[in-house]
Amino acid sequence: MANSTPPPKSPPAPPVAAPVAAKRPHSFTHHGVTVNDPYAWLRDPGYPEVTDKAVLAHLEAENAWFHARMDPQQPVIDALFKEMRGRIKEADKSVPQKDGDWLYWIEYEEGAEYKKWWRRPVNGGPDELILDEVALAEGHEYFRLGAIAVSNDGRMLAWSVDDNGSERFTVRIKVIASGEVLADEIPGTLSALVWVANDTALVYSLANENWRTDNARLHRLGTPLSDDVELYHEDDEGFRVGCSLSANEKWLLIGTSDHETSECRLVPAADPLAPPLLVKARQAGVEYDVDERDGVLYIHANDTHENFRLATAPLDRPGEWTTLIAGSDDFYLTGFDLFRDFYVIEGRVRGLDRIEVRYYDDPARIEPIAFPEASYEASLGDNPEWAMDKLRVSYESMVSPASTLEYDVAARSFAVLKVQEIPSGYDAALYVTERLEVPARDGTPIPVSVMMRRDRQPGGPLHLYGYGAYGIAIAPGFSTTRLSLVDRGFAYAIAHIRGGDDMGRAWYKAGKKEQRTNTFNDFVDVAQALVAKGLTAPGRISISGGSAGGELMGAVANSEPHLWGAVVAHVPFVDVLATMLDETLPLTPGEWPEWGNPIEDREAFELIRSYSPYDQVRAQDYPPIMVTAGLNDPRVTYWEPAKWVARLRELKTDGNELILKTNMGAGHGGKSGRFESLKETAEEFAFILWQLGVAL
């Protein structure tokens, strides 16, 4: 009798041409201006569920084209991945840190994608595994730990997990000693987890249907979720709510804010249902955060100076602020931490990190913590206890691997606890880093951090990275993956462009809303200045950026396509106009203070339209472009890069590579896991080497 088993199906033949997206008539009109958008259909009408067969077929076709073009580069990708993985110490652990009666640390096992969380008693005893991410991630294409919080008495652990990239986390709680996972389960969260009421309850925030955290909720252990109490609700759809504990753990701090205004309330942690204490009612454009010690509030605020001041107020008169540290044009005060016997402020001077220890009883006593290099990244590390006499500090530079330091406050001296190990070897003496300032077209000096090998030849390839949004500074820190370009003759440069707050709050303001185009111009001007200095040449520059940095990539690809030898845009925010016009999208109302509101403001509409990368694609030659997206991404929705690539394919006049990869099981951050994410970096670098003609 013949075998009835059908023969195995052959894999589909690789595509011989890039997919061409259908054009379907669609337009919208605002302020008397009609905008045609023939690729709007790529947004599934059932989003956040994506089930439309035509949409999925197009994304799969783009993925097939991506693999058809990149598969010949697989030997390079594999070699780069092996090289990058060889720089990671696979069996590694953090330096244990004391918190109460326990020492806590995290640990990676050989070959593991995810970490394990451990502790042991300070007074001696066996190690305890309190959370095993490896086990939790098993069977999931994507895994991300959101929040993790040990109860104040050390008995219980709460944690939250996202297993599809949608950034909606499910909370679970367990008894550490027995491993018993409680029946309590809270789905749909997007927040920290805060233990209150003598460890009988958790405070959390739910993401609403539009992925906005407009609430702070109290869950008492062992009770149904329907009995949870809403401690605070935010009615302004542009604001987000977040909660934390004060440094002395006496207060639950409930904050709500958008990108330029904030408001804080205090509730006794032991009695979270008590009436909240409003510190000061919100005032448009004023941001502040707060902590408390001995009946005195400490307030970090930008009400009198855009670079922030530190003020104090009596707990019973929280709105009466008295300056403790005045705002300064020179010192950008980014934050503060209270401890029992002293406090620490952090900030930047001319873009470089600065940490100072200060004293409650002697305001004139200021002890800056000194660091050895001219350009570096330094910050307070994990310092969980109220009574500390030695502080954990994190330090690195573009040529110095990350270090965990212990700073003795009384002795004003450092001890090195751990230096990042690079198993395959690393010799810092082979590399040089410098900080340049180059003039933008309006004369503003733009800082640039550059790293290269000392033996690099002038005029070689250069990779330029930028972000430039939301007041997020890009620090000149260390990267093991970066070495795979630098060791092949690249200079690696970070452009500290306006829109970030690298040089203070004014730097941020000079790159947002009506001044947004400064960000794009700065990036181009930095590239041209590096060419003028002989560091590289037009067409020898690769560039990359993600999210708002992906918007930057799209804008400069439109404006100066001849400069770039390769462009990599990760989850790029390129459909800016349509997104900012759609108030039903999760982020849009909260983004208007950043970009402007084109629904109400015609000038904002015209400005956004003038730089929105998707809207400004034109018939011209474009550089080689690689684009990534995440199907479950709630921040930059998958259709933005898909539409952008479709329009580029329609209009560009060159034969250069244009490839799009959509992670069908991930979100904004791409693949999870420390090695899986390395594979995506290896793909990016292989694309860059290929397009710039640099040998492996």
Per annotation, catalytic residue among 205, 547, 612, 672: 547
Per annotation, catalytic residue among 44, 228, 575, 633: 633
Please work out, in degrees rounded to the nearest 5, the angle formed at the alpha carbon of residue 260 by the alpha carbons of 255 and 263: 25
* Burial classification of residue 328, based on how many CB atoms lie within 10 Å of its CB (0-12 exposed, 13-18 middle, 19 or more buried): middle
Token digits of residue 459: 């005029």
Rounded Cα gap, residues 141 and 136, in angstroms: 12
Peptide bond into 318 cis (omega under 30): no
Could you give the 3-state DSSP secondary structure of residue 457? coil
Q: Is 337 a catalytic residue?
A: no
Give the 3-state DSSP-derived string for 286-348, with helices as H, strands as E and coil as C: CCEEEEEECCEEEEEECCCCCCCEEEEEECCCCCCCEEEECCCCCEEEEEEEECCCCEEEEEE
Please work out, in degrees rounded to the nearest 5, the angle formed at the alpha carbon of residue 338 by the alpha carbons of 475 and 290: 85
At residue 145, what is the residue type?
L
Q: Is 291 a catalytic residue?
A: no
Could you give the 3-state DSSP secondary structure of residue 504? coil
* Burial classification of residue 569, based on how many CB atoms lie within 10 Å of its CB (0-12 exposed, 13-18 middle, 19 or more buried): buried
Q: Of 98, 124, 131, 93, whose CA–CA distance to 109 is shortest?
A: 93
Rounded Cα gap, residues 602 and 31, in angstroms: 6
Rounded Cα gap, residues 649 and 641, in angstroms: 12
Rounded Cα gap, residues 397 and 402, in angstroms: 8
Strands 541-546 and 564-570: parallel
Burial 441-457 (b: 16+ CB within 10 A, else e): eeebebbbbbbbbeebe
Q: Is 668 a catalytic residue?
A: yes
- What are the backbone dihedrals phi and psi of residue 597, each rounded to the nearest 5 degrees, phi first? -105, 100
541: left (phi over 0), alpha (psi -120 to 50) or beta: beta
The strand pairing partners of 194, in sequence order, are 203
Give catalytic residue positions. 547, 633, 668
